[in-house]
Structure 1
């Protein structure tokens, strides 16, 4: 029988999963914004995949115009709230800040963006849209960041848009797949409600994969924001034992309901999702957490700041280690590992969480007639998001293989513009 830790009370959960980076108080935001040099041709803007006018939104904060600041952000990135919390700013906007040249602390762009977005969502959030006066309709498959950005852009241009998703809650990985201390489901759903308020229709709990032919008949253009598929299987004995759960399912379960957590947890993989799962297990009460990775520390794909969080949480890393099998009778009891020198050892554990990347949804994509797929990724025109089948457009993880929320938002907006231009030119 699996050995688990006691469930947290709601108060304990809230305390342990509190904000990783607490928000600025309003006056703190003004002071930080006043440090900005408001560069012309700003490198921070160039470093943002959605090209937010960073100096402009920061200057509005410095002058107390938080709504104007938020509207500047949203004009470029409809997912400004979630991106302010989850973007790897140290390798994007803040990493490009000119303050680095003067050996000074970069402007805290992410926290300033959050200050503006938090204010916006606390004060009757709304965005202007064009009247729904276009006859042509667009379907967006998947309710994650790419589809939300695409649908919003279409509504700004007067086109009706319908988002399909098989899950009961929209938002994609923003709702289900990002660590709670970075982004909570209620914050993800605020962005969903903003899109809904723009007139976008949501059809949830619908398996669009099985209805793609009917969707093709009903709509004039289709955007594929389907993300990626399930976590890859390890292909080793013991994967079906109780206590074995993939990282995305683990994160979704603890964020939206509850899940028993083992006292001793092993996470397989060393990407950002692996770190999210490991640090969540720690906050949920696991006493001992190990991360096992088949390559070395220098090769780990997780961002450096994610790695630092894991080390601060006391998570133990095992480099150059391959998992050979999972042992247990009624549930997980240990994993058998091997090192390149032939050393074999066991790690005792009650829970195993693989985070070794996601599969591609090639079976579904094969049903999208004329959509070219190369190495599991949808091939598009990078300027418009259009596929080989001119009716289909795509963006986000199904195109880039799995990047950041901000990349999906950029893809979605670009495709929304591309769809509108194509419908206008081709269909009148």
Structure 2
């Protein structure tokens, strides 16, 4: 994945010392802090925090359970709506969702209830004797799920709850998708992502087959013929290109590839780390990349974006994280040229200043050069078109993403899709979880309706 960085020096320090820089971003609440914080909740009727949650968690109810020292009840309330509640408590942008809607955010205190930390407290400390949910009686139906990310596994879990058997096909060696491979290591440290997957699978009825990639050793036409329904949770696996000469030179890589390598690294001290780096992009992935480089010991990291701060898709909270790590931010600059040294390796980039004219982004002709040992592009992901290349898959309507109806049905009967691969979407873990859950309910409804229609009167 990051072979083109092997000419760079390794991270300074031992694996143990570097690992200490990748513990949880925010410290957990103590029992006393959780008690105090839960007492701040007003338990609003028609709570705006619940309405702001993409998965519809009954926030007031789970916080009341925490206040009443019923952590198992709190955790069950969360997991009923969001089986990935543990990871979402850590990575969800609560500052623009539930906490932004909290009425405490708008009263004299001006400080919302710490919903994300309370959710984490409940799920980290709840002690279940087994899986909290039981499966309904077996339906005899088996559904194929392609992709073991948050959308696919959420769909699989809900289908298993409803009594169906599920076979999940995953291209990589581990399940978890973005949680396992794409989230900053300081947000989901250690083996948290895998423990969450193991907990989800403990409901039973879910089989995962690894090393199975749609369009390669797996065809949609076969799945459509063999299974009662198919759910596509393909994600967005292809990094967009800058379209510049030198883009394939040693020293220029996709940020997601480096993040995946970092998350799977057994020895952080063996990772190649540039002394000076450029990160191109304006989303949370760009922030994750820049901050992790600083934590690995990079001296200078510059994040470059072609528009202004107000147009960045990264949240204000993420931008502040970057600032506290002394990440330099250069806005209003568009990539123009990759600069190479005498042996063809990246030595920096040339940018052209931009501005808005009557709402349109234009270049000004002014040139900026930034010296760097490596460049990381975080300019968005696209679908792997090879995944939907077989004749049957071509019947699925798509633009740059798969088009689905309100129940996540594609144009191909019996095939559903959700998560980052569908339009519209916000590319949030919590939204992918909701897509998978709602698609599972639609699959169950459609299968039951078909069975009822076939039943003789």
Same fold (TM over 0.5): yes
Contact (CA 8 Å) 1:370, 1:389: kept in 2 or not?
Answer: no
CA contact (8 A) 1:261 1:284 kept: yes
Q: In structure 1, how many angstroms separate the alpha carbons of the residues matched to 2:253 and 2:393?
A: 34
Aligned partners of 1:10 and 1:139: how far apart in 2? 40
2:291 corresponds to: 279
* Equivalent pair of 1:129/1:158 in contact (CA under 8 Å): no
Residues in 2 aligned to 1:252 and 1:62: alpha-carbon distance in whole angstroms: 38
3-state DSSP of counterpart to 2:234: coil
The counterpart of 2:120, out of the listed 114, 120, 123, is 114
Deviation string, structure 1 residues 156-187 (Cα, Å, up to 9, x no partner)? 11000111111101100111001111113511
C-alpha contact (below 8 Å) 1:228/1:401 kept by paired residues: no
Is 2:78 aligned against 1:78? no
Name the counterpart of 1:325: 337
Q: Decide whether aligned partners of structure 1 residues 226 and 217 sit closer, same or farther in structure 2, where only a CA change above 3 A counts.
A: same
Partner of 2:349, secondary structure, is strand
Q: Does 1:335 align with 2:349?
A: yes
Q: Give the alignment's Cα RMSD to 1 decimal.
A: 1.7
Q: Could you give the per-residue CA deviations for residues 208-236 of structure 1, whole angstroms, max 9, x where no partner exists?
A: 33312322222110001111131101111
Q: State the Cα deviation string for residues 401-424 of structure 1 (Å, max 9, x = none).
A: 552111011111000111111111
Cα deviations by residue, 1:96-131 (Å, 9 ceiling, x for unpaired)? 0111231221110000000011113x6555132325
Q: String of CA shifts for 1:263-307, please: whole Å, max 9, x gaps.
A: 101001111110110001000110000111111222111111111
Runs of 4+ in 1 over 4 A off after TM superposition: 122-125
CA distances 1:344-368 after superposition (whole Å, capped 9, x unpaired): 2321111110000112233423435
Q: Is 1:67 matched up with 2:86? A: no
What's the CA shift for 1:8? 4.0
Structure 1 residues 406 and 37: alpha-carbon distance in aligned structure 2, compared to 1, 3 A threshold:
same
Change (3 A) 1:25 1:332: same
Distance (Å, rounded) in 2 between the aligned partners of 1:229 and 1:144: 12
Q: 2:356 is matched with which residue?
A: none
> Which is richer in strand?
2
1:203 offset after TM fit, Å?
A: 0.7
Equivalent residue for 1:226?
234
Of 409, 414, 433 in structure 2, the residue corresponding to residue 409 of structure 1 is 433
Distance 2:381 2:118 in 1: 33
Alignment partners' CA distance in 2, 1:401 and 1:61: 32
User: Residues 252 and 179 of structure 1: is their aligned pair in 2 closer, same or farther, counting only changes over 3 Å?
Assistant: same
Query: Counterpart in 2 of 1:269?
Result: 281
- Return the alpha-carbon distance in structure 2 between the equivalents of residues 245 and 228 of structure 1: 17
Offset, 1:370: 6.4
Say which SS state the counterpart of residue 341 (structure 1) adopts: strand
SS at 2:436 equivalent: helix
Equivalent residue of 1:139, what SS? strand
Aligned residue for 1:240? 248
Residue pair 1:176, 1:185 contacting (<8 A) in 2 also? no
- Determine the structure 1 residue equivalent to 2:379: 356
Deviations 1:357-397 (A, max 9, x none): 11223342343536533322222121x21122121011110
Inter-CA distance 117–242: structure 2 relative to 1 (3 Å threshold): same
Equivalent residue runs for 1:200-215 within 5 Å: 200-210=206-216, 211-212=218-219, 213-215=221-223
1:364 aligned counterpart, secondary structure: helix
1:380 corresponds to 2:388: no
Q: Find the aligned partners of 1:205 and 1:7 in 2 and give their Cα distance.
A: 34
Q: Which runs of 5+ in 2 are unaligned?
A: 1-5, 354-362, 453-457
**Aligned to 2:154, which of 135, 149, 152?**
149
Q: In terms of mean alpha carbon deviation, does 309-318 or 212-221 score higher?
A: 212-221
**SS of 1:342 mapped into structure 2:** strand
Count of aligned residue pairs for this structure pair = 426
Aligned residue among 224, 234, 247 for 1:216:
224
Distance 1:183 1:92 in 2: 20
The 10-residue stretch of structure 1 (268-277 or 367-376) with the greater mean CA deviation from structure 2: 367-376
Secondary structure at 2:382's aligned position in 1?
Answer: coil
Tell me if 1:304 matches 2:304: no
Separation in structure 1 between the aligned mates of residue 381 and residue 133 of structure 2, nearest angstrom: 37
* 2:446 corresponds to 1:422: yes
Q: In the aligned structure 1, how far is the partner of 2:294 from the partner of 2:143?
A: 43
Gaps of 5+ in 1: none
TM-score (norm 1): 0.95
Kindly state the Cα deviation for residue 241 of structure 1 after the two structures are TM-superposed.
1.8
Question: Which residue pairs with 2:455 in the alignment?
Answer: none
Looking at structure 2, the residues matched to 269 and 407 of structure 1 have their Cα atoms a distance apart, in angstroms, of 22
2:238–2:381 contact (8 Å) kept in structure 1 = yes
